[in-house]
Structure 1
C-alpha cells in the first residue's frame, strides 16, 4: 500500500520518476507562512462549530506555530515524497501531535487549501512590490527636480524632434509607473477573495462558516461559487499582465539609458555600482543592469503567455495542469522585485551631463517647429509655414549652418514675415518654456506634474502601508 497521505486507494508506491515529476515542494515551500496561517484559521473555525474539540484546536495551533518556527530557522527538512508544502506540514504536524493533526484536513481539500495559500501569498508579495515601485517613482521625481534646468533633445523615430526638459522625460516614466501602480491595486483587489470552504469543488456537508475563516485571514470577500473558487487563476493572470506591462516600461527606460550612456551620446553616466567592465577591454563601462532588465522582460512576458496557455483548455474544476501556475508567477515576482530595486538605485545615482545635451541641441534643427509656429502666428497658414521652414533647413544643411546662424537678410529672403524677434523664438529655452499647454514641457507644466507626482507618491505609500499592515499577521 502506498504511504502517501492520499494512498489508501493505491496498492503500490508512486514510481520515483513520477514522484519527482509530480512534486512541487521545491518551489511551493515559499508559501509555508500562508499555509500555516490558513490551517490555524481552519482549526479555529472547525472548533467554533464543534467539528473538532477545543483541545484539538489548541494542539493543532501550538504544533503549527512550532513548525513555523522550525522553518523560519531553517530547521525543517522538506520531503519530496510528500509532494508539496501542504502535505509536508500536515505530516509533520500529525507525527508531532497525533490524531488531532489528522483531523485538521476535515472540511477542506488541497484544492481550496492551495488556492487559499496563493491568494494570501500574492497579497503579501504585492505589498512588497508596491514599496519597490514607489521607490522608483520617488527616484524619477528626485531626478526631475535635481536636473530641472537640463534640456535634452526629444526624439521621434529615433531622430531629433523637439527639445524637452529632462524632467519632462523622467515624469513621462513616472506617469507610466503610476498606471502600473493602479494595475497593482486592481491585482490586490482580485487576490482579496477567499476560496476556502470550496473544498475539492462542491463545498462540504459539514456545518462550516467560510466567512469566519476569511475574516480571520484578512480577506474582504469569499467566492460565491465553489467550482470557480478552486479553478480561478484570473488573479494570477492579472498579476502577470501587470508585471509584463511594468517590465516593458522598465525595458523602454533601459533602452534609453543604454544609448544615452554611449560615447556617441554621453547624456548620462551610470554610477560605477550599477555598471560592469570588460575582461579584455580596460576602457569599457557597460550598462549591464539595463541590458539584463531589458532581457528579462521577455522572460516575464513568457510567464504570462505560459499561464494563459495552461488555462485555455481546462475544464472545471481542478486539473493538475494548474500546478504550473506557481513557478512562473514566483519567478515574475522575483524578477520584477530585483528590477525595481535596481532601478531605484540606478536612477538615484546617475549623473546627467547637461553640457552634452545642450551641445547636441545647438547642432540640430529641433527648433524648426518653433520657426514654423512663428510664421503661423504671423498669419501664414501652417502648411505653407512648414514648407518655408523645410526649405530653410535644406538651405542651412547646404551652407553648413543651423537656424540660429542665419542672418536677418537670409531670414527675410525666406519670408518677409520674419522680424528680429525670430531669434528669441528659436532659442532653446523659449522653445521649451513656451510650451505651457496642459501636459507640455514648459516650466509651469512641469511644476504641475511634479506637484501631482508628490501627491501621487503620498497616496501610493498610504495604500502600500495598508496592504503590508493587513498581511503582517503572516510574519
Structure 2
C-alpha cells in the first residue's frame, strides 16, 4: 500500500520501489510511530477535528497493533514502503473507514521527523545510562587504587609517578564531559515537529502544544520548514558518539600497551580475551582492539550525515532518508562498545609490582630530584642540568636514581644529603602533590568524593 497513489496512473518500477523504500530499516520506529499517532489522534479528538468516538476507536486500534507487534502476533511486512504506511494500512484493515482519518492534519514529513526525534531522544538516554555504569566501574577502581603507583607518560615516555586512581580519574573526567554533551543535546532537541505538515503547517486547528506535552517535549518547534528538514540534533548526537568512541579508543590503546609482554601492567580476564589459532602462548586484547577499530565506523556515520546535509535546500528532500541506517549502526556500535569495555576493565587485574618497578626504573622521580636541589638553594635551571647528569650516569650504570650511593650523588653535586632518598621515593613524589587534581591520596580522595556526589 502507498499513501500517495491517487495522482499516478502507472505502478512504480519494482527497482525504483525497492530503492525508494525504507521499511527494511525504519521498522525500528514502530513503537515511536504508534506513540506519535496516539498523541496526534488524541489531539484531533479534543480539537473536534474528528469525533471523540472516532479518536478513541483509532487509539484502541493503534494500541492493539503495538501489542500484536511486540508479542509477535503481527509481523511487519516489507511489501509496504515504510513503517508509517504499514501501521496505517493495518489500522484501516482492522477498523475500516475510521482508520483513514488517522492522517488528518499530518504529513509523512512531520511524521518522519517526529519518529526520528522520539527514537533519538530515547537513545541519547540509553547511551547516557551506559556511560553512567562505566563511570561507576572507573570510580570503583579509583577508590581501590589511590596508593597504587605507576608511571605517568608524555610522548609515551615515562614522565612522573602517578597512581592508577589518578590515571583512571582522567578518563572519568572525559566520560563525564560526554554525559554533559548528551544532556545538552537532549535539551536542545526536545521540541516537537508534529503539526508542521509537509513544510507549511496545516489549515486544521491543531493544538501543537498538546501533542508536544503528550509526547514529553518541552514545546512545539517554531518554524514548520525547519521542523521537517532539521537534522542538527542527529549531527550533534553523532558528534558526541564520535567523541565517546575517541575516548574509548584512547583508553583501549593504553589497555593494549599495558597488556603487552613488555609492560605486563595488567592481566585481562579470559572472558574478555582470545587466543591464537597457531600460537598457544597468546592472550590477545581483542575487545580493546575492536573498540579501537570500530571508532572509525562511528566517525564515518558523522561524516556521512554532514555530507548528506551540506547541499540540501529547504525543506524536506528524500536525501534525508539516508540519516537512518548509519545512525542506527553508530548508536548500536557505541552502546555495545561501552558495555563490553566496562566489563573488560571491571574484570582485569593490575600487576602492581610491575607498575611500581616501571615507575622507578623510568626516572619518573627526576623532577623531584631537581626540586630537592631547588629547595637547597640551587637555581632550577642549574638543578635541571645536574639531574640530567644523574640520569646519564644511571643509564650508563643501568641503575635507577634510587640505587645510586650518596657518594655518587655528591660526586655530581655536593648539595645532596642522606634525605635525597626520601625526597625521591615514589611515595613522597606522589604524596607531596597536594593541589586539587594532583595524584596524591589526599587530593584524589577529594576528587573521589566529588565523583561520588556527581554519580548520585
CA deviation profile, 1:227-274 (whole Å, cap 9, x unmatched): 111111111111001100011001110000011011111101111111
Distance 1:74 1:259 in 2: 47
How far 1:125 moved relative to its partner?
1.4
Q: How does 1:106-125 map to 2 (within 5 A)?
A: 106-125=104-123
CA contact (8 A) 2:69 2:76 kept: no
The aligned residue for residue 225 of structure 2 is: 227
Structure 1 gaps of 5+ residues are: 459-475
The aligned residue for residue 352 of structure 2 is: 354
Question: Are 1:138 and 2:106 counterparts?
Answer: no
CA contact (8 A) 1:120 1:191 kept: no
Distance 1:194 1:4 in 2: 26
CA deviation profile, 1:290-324 (whole Å, cap 9, x unmatched): 11110001100110111001111110000000001
Distance 2:404 2:14 in 1: 82
**Counterpart secondary structure, 2:361:** coil
Deviates more, 1:254-263 or 1:78-87: 78-87
**Counterpart secondary structure, 1:32:** helix
Matched pairs, number: 456
1:290 to 288, 291, 299: 288
Distance 1:176 1:137 in 2: 10
How far 1:80 moved relative to its partner?
2.9
TM-score by length of 1: 0.94
The aligned residue for residue 260 of structure 1 is: 258
CA deviation profile, 1:44-74 (whole Å, cap 9, x unmatched): 1111111111121122111111110111022
**Counterpart secondary structure, 2:34:** helix
The aligned residue for residue 388 of structure 2 is: 390
Please tell me the root mean square deviation across aligned C-alpha atoms, in Å: 1.1
The aligned residue for residue 301 of structure 1 is: 299
The aligned residue for residue 82 of structure 2 is: 84
**Counterpart secondary structure, 1:206:** coil
CA contact (8 A) 1:274 1:287 kept: yes
TM-score by length of 2: 0.98
Distance 1:405 1:277 in 2: 39
**Counterpart secondary structure, 1:264:** coil
How far 1:140 moved relative to its partner?
0.4
Structure 2 gaps of 5+ residues are: none
Distance 1:445 1:146 in 2: 15
The aligned residue for residue 334 of structure 1 is: 332
**Counterpart secondary structure, 1:80:** coil
CA contact (8 A) 1:19 1:81 kept: no
1:42 to 26, 40, 43: 40
The aligned residue for residue 436 of structure 2 is: 438
Distance 1:389 1:79 in 2: 75
Question: Are 1:5 and 2:6 counterparts?
Answer: no
1:25 to 16, 19, 23: 23
Distance 2:274 2:407 in 1: 53
The aligned residue for residue 412 of structure 2 is: 414
Distance 1:192 1:384 in 2: 60
Distance 1:223 1:145 in 2: 45
**Counterpart secondary structure, 1:265:** coil
